[in-house]
Structure 1
Amino acid sequence: MRIMIVEDEALLALELELEVEAAGHEVVGTAASRTAALDIVEQAEPQFAFVDVHLSDGPSGIEIGRHLAVTGIPFVFVTGNVKRIPDDFVGAIGAIEKPYTMNGLQNALTYLTARISGQEPVAPPPGLILAD
């Protein structure tokens, strides 16, 4: 799967990129701001995205999420404050709360990959909060 990472903390973005690639997926771009994220969506055509709520240009992750939902790209929020996500999750599958463990992230990625590819996943892993 072609995955975009929207995260303004460089170390977290790198760790997430390494985990995504270790799981056999391709990272098509990493963005720390709204503008960079929208450029990646247009140029790289990701199939999925991890989106932080608060980026280098403010809480613009919500706006990016809305854009992804309109364009039909599935995504999850990755955030230290789940309360910042609107009740409707702006179309996200769900959220992964920071801090997360690498094992928890791998389990969430396995679940999300199955769900996006149309397989019937058994149950969401504990670290993944699903939207209603």
Structure 2
Amino acid sequence: MGQYRALRVLIVEDEPLLVMDIEMMVEDAGHRVVAEAASLHDVEAMDPRLSPDLAFVDMHLARGTTGLSVSALIQERWAETLIIFVTANPAMIPAGFAGAHGVLAKPFSRNSFVSTLAYLHQGICAPPPALAKPADFVPAQALLDGWNSR
């Protein structure tokens, strides 16, 4: 983690084993999981003061909700939060990423996730990131443009 502050991370995923894996990787990298959710309803119930830096959001969630609806709520509630969709079908992400900042395809390896997290960490704390973009991560053009304009 080095010179940058630890990130506050929100995990929105309805598969408990995957939540545990992501949580472990986030914490092993020196960051903090501030909340977990399995549906839009769970995110709606969260304290508006939570203010995560980064949210990993699955596209297909419990109770028939989608990552798109969760992303819209996160954008409304915590406008500064970077939203990364996590999905086995990246082709279902709308053009422009529906306001989200990138996509990480499932299944992903530990190395792929940790590399993506490190890249995003640098981008959040000291944009643009000096690290190379991980192969499995597809950033939204708006994210890259925002980082490069700083």
Q: TM-score, normalised by structure 1?
A: 0.92
Alignment of 1:113 with 2:150, yes or no, is no
State, as a whole percentage, how many aligned pairs show the same letter.
37
Q: For structure 1, which segment, 87-96 or 5-14, has the greater mean C-alpha deviation from structure 2 after superposition?
A: 87-96
CA contact (8 A) 2:13 2:36 kept: yes
Distance 1:57 1:85 in 2: 20
From the CA coordinates, give the structure whose radius of gyration is larger.
2
Unaligned runs of 5+ residues in structure 1 are none
Unaligned runs of 5+ residues in structure 2 are 1-6, 142-150
The ranges of structure 1 where at least 4 consecutive aligned residues each deviate by more than 3 angstroms after the TM superposition are: none
Q: Which residue of 2 aligns with 1:27?
A: 33
Deviations 1:27-78 (A, max 9, x none): 0111111111232362522121000011012242101112222331111001
Q: For structure 1, which segment, 20-29 or 42-51, has the greater mean C-alpha deviation from structure 2 after superposition?
A: 42-51
Q: Which residue of 1 aligns with 2:52?
A: 46
Distance 1:9 1:41 in 2: 22
Q: For structure 1, which segment, 82-91 or 92-101, has the greater mean C-alpha deviation from structure 2 after superposition?
A: 82-91
Distance 2:31 2:38 in 1: 20
Root mean square deviation of aligned Cα: 1.4
Distance 1:20 1:87, change over 3 A: same
Q: TM-score, normalised by structure 2?
A: 0.82
Alignment of 1:124 with 2:133, yes or no, is yes
**Which residues in structure 2 correspond to 1:75-86 (within 5 Å)?**
75-86=83-94
Q: Which residue of 2 aligns with 1:36?
A: 42
SS at structure 2 position matched to 1:20:
helix
Distance 2:70 2:49 in 1: 15
